[in-house]
A and B are shown apart, each in its own frame.
Chain A
């Protein structure tokens, strides 16, 4: 059946979750060369409402494209955190945007204030998703930092490369600060990673 690694990125519409999903899938699939399937679900609104993007990673062709039991859950608001943390595997990682998520349901959680970093350091709230991608690339074994950087730079609009590169690095350094050792999930995907 292959080893699946299921990721769900959740929050509210307008936070850039679907773009995150696309970049993450591109980094893992094209640059790191694994099988990926990326799906999404969102409401008819342009902003607000709940939004989620899912990325399934496997070392062989993926049948069911939606996430089953989560290895990684990113929650960019309290509602999505409450709604989805039950889907995490016992070894799964919860990553929250502590700007909006105040109540953490499980002890195995990383809290990084993505939106506040975006607001304070970059004066642009919309790079919060790229900061989160940086944190994901550092905190999980599923994607390499190099791959995520290449994928981000290939996707973002021309002229914003420096802003996004800096955002990504801010995410990585924020991730370095949070506790790392106890939370890493053992995974077969670790084997070929050099980051």
Chain B
């Protein structure tokens, strides 16, 4: 009997066995998300499913839209009206969302888009993991635009990075893309919720009276205060390149500062956006740079290698875009060889090679057979190259 009481106590100690997708929902609700519009798709369905149960309880709104184009449109509209909003999808839906993601970039509307990566292209492999949407998260929508994308590899990170995704979107007035892979999204691990405090960032509102408000005015940080629709501040929102008042412009002297400003939002705050973790890289001869579920295999491979006397290390990158070149460059300088394992034909390895400048030899492991890269495969590569 006593033991049963203990069980009950443990059960209510907020320790839960959560799936990655469920942890994303928990993180979103903690961050203050109150609007979700989406269209269910494997392997992201659970996010919609749980959101539809949880949002009404906190006075939020859940809408199942007719498709992903409309979902993204609804998310932008809700955000302009003041709600922290998000949507979740997988590859095919993410392709449909691209047009409106560009709209959110140019109109500077904060929102979070979760993309649970599945095998592609097209309908591809609905229930299998892949990491093929890395470049789509950067350049999926047309035109030159800033991008923020985060990628968790544990359930804890699913929760924390979702909160950070909302914070970044509100802070920088830019859509933030959360890239999960099928393994992380469907994996279950223990997580204790509410034991830590992550600060919540809410969008900066104008302090001037409505008639003085200039909606896209440049500021030292490059991020203009954002008025919610319906609060008395009237301004124009358009997908056309606009002047500081939000109306379409074709004057080069207005276009250039605008495009430069939306890039400056990210470049000026580059260090704030970098999230990653190094593991034994200080004295490593061979370093592995990995993300998502593969980072877990890599950690195991690094531990195995260390046990056999090989000086290996791991840099796990959580911020995919903007590419965290400061940490990567450090690893490239201290290691002789760098291995980039990923479940695509080489998307992050391209970036690593781009920033390399001949400091280290860069090797890749590219696996596209719909199964996760195993620790043995990474370990064997470590042994090969060192």
Chain B residues with Cβ below 8 Å from A106 are none
- A35 CB-CB contact with B under 8 Å: yes
- B202 CB-CB contact with A under 8 Å: no
A38 in contact with B187 (CB, 8 Å): yes
Could you tell me the distance between the alpha carbons of A40 and B186 in the complex, rounded to whole angstroms? Answer: 7
Chain A residues with Cβ below 8 Å from B42 are 44
Cβ-neighbour of B17 out of A1, A25, A43, A44 (below 8 A): A25
Interchain pairs with CB closer than 8 A, number: 75
- B146 CB-CB contact with A under 8 Å: no
- A26 CB-CB contact with B under 8 Å: yes
Distance of B134 from chain A, by nearest CB (Å): 21
Distance of B97 from chain A, by nearest CB (Å): 22
Cβ-neighbour of B190 out of A1, A35, A43, A63 (below 8 A): A35
Cβ-neighbour of A30 out of B10, B303, B374 (below 8 A): B10
B3 in contact with A146 (CB, 8 Å): yes
- A41 CB-CB contact with B under 8 Å: yes
Known A30-B190, A37-B187; contact A64-B374, beta-carbon cutoff 8 A: yes
Known A40-B186, A43-B127, A44-B42; contact A63-B4, beta-carbon cutoff 8 A: no
- A131 CB-CB contact with B under 8 Å: no
Distance of A144 from chain B, by nearest CB (Å): 9
Could you tell me the distance between the alpha carbons of A30 and B126 in the complex, rounded to whole angstroms? Answer: 30
Known A30-B17, A44-B126, A64-B374; contact A150-B7, beta-carbon cutoff 8 A: yes
Known A25-B17, A37-B188, A44-B42; contact A63-B303, beta-carbon cutoff 8 A: yes
Distance of A88 from chain B, by nearest CB (Å): 17
Chain B residues with Cβ below 8 Å from A40 are 186
Chain B residues with Cβ below 8 Å from A43 are 127
Could you tell me the distance between the alpha carbons of A66 and B374 in the complex, rounded to whole angstroms? Answer: 9
12 pairs, A vs B, C-beta closer than 8 Å: A1-B303, A1-B307, A25-B188, A30-B15, A31-B7, A35-B190, A39-B186, A62-B189, A64-B299, A65-B187, A66-B183, A150-B4
A65 in contact with B3 (CB, 8 Å): no
Smallest Cβ-Cβ distance to A40: which chain B residue: B186
Could you tell me the distance between the alpha carbons of A68 and B303 in the complex, rounded to whole angstroms? Answer: 15
Chain A residues with Cβ below 8 Å from B4 are 146, 150
Known A26-B17, A146-B7; contact A63-B296, beta-carbon cutoff 8 A: yes
Could you tell me the distance between the alpha carbons of A25 and B299 in the complex, rounded to whole angstroms? Answer: 22
Could you tell me the distance between the alpha carbons of A1 and B299 in the complex, rounded to whole angstroms? Answer: 11
Cβ-neighbour of B300 out of A26, A64, A154 (below 8 A): A64
Known A38-B187, A43-B127; contact A64-B7, beta-carbon cutoff 8 A: no
Smallest Cβ-Cβ distance to B155: which chain A residue: A37
- B142 CB-CB contact with A under 8 Å: no
Could you tell me the distance between the alpha carbons of A146 and B374 in the complex, rounded to whole angstroms? Answer: 34
- B255 CB-CB contact with A under 8 Å: no
Cβ-neighbour of A63 out of B16, B126, B186, B299 (below 8 A): B299
Distance of B369 from chain A, by nearest CB (Å): 13
Known A22-B17, A36-B190, A65-B183; contact A44-B127, beta-carbon cutoff 8 A: yes
Cβ-neighbour of B372 out of A29, A42, A66 (below 8 A): A66
Known A29-B17, A30-B17; contact A39-B296, beta-carbon cutoff 8 A: no
Per-residue A-contact encoding for B1-37, CB less than 8 Å = 1, 0 else:
0011001001100011100000000000000000000
Distance of B238 from chain A, by nearest CB (Å): 41
A30 in contact with B11 (CB, 8 Å): yes
- A33 CB-CB contact with B under 8 Å: yes
Chain B residues with Cβ below 8 Å from A146 are 3-4, 7
- B80 CB-CB contact with A under 8 Å: no
Chain B residues with Cβ below 8 Å from A62 are 189
- B297 CB-CB contact with A under 8 Å: yes
B17 in contact with A39 (CB, 8 Å): no
Chain A residues with Cβ below 8 Å from B300 are 63-64
Chain A residues with Cβ below 8 Å from B11 are 30-31, 150, 154
Chain A residues with Cβ below 8 Å from B183 are 39, 65-66
Chain A residues with Cβ below 8 Å from B190 are 29-30, 35-36
- A147 CB-CB contact with B under 8 Å: yes
Per-residue A-contact encoding for B42-56, CB less than 8 Å = 1, 0 else:
100000000000000
Cβ-neighbour of B296 out of A1, A35, A38, A64 (below 8 A): A64
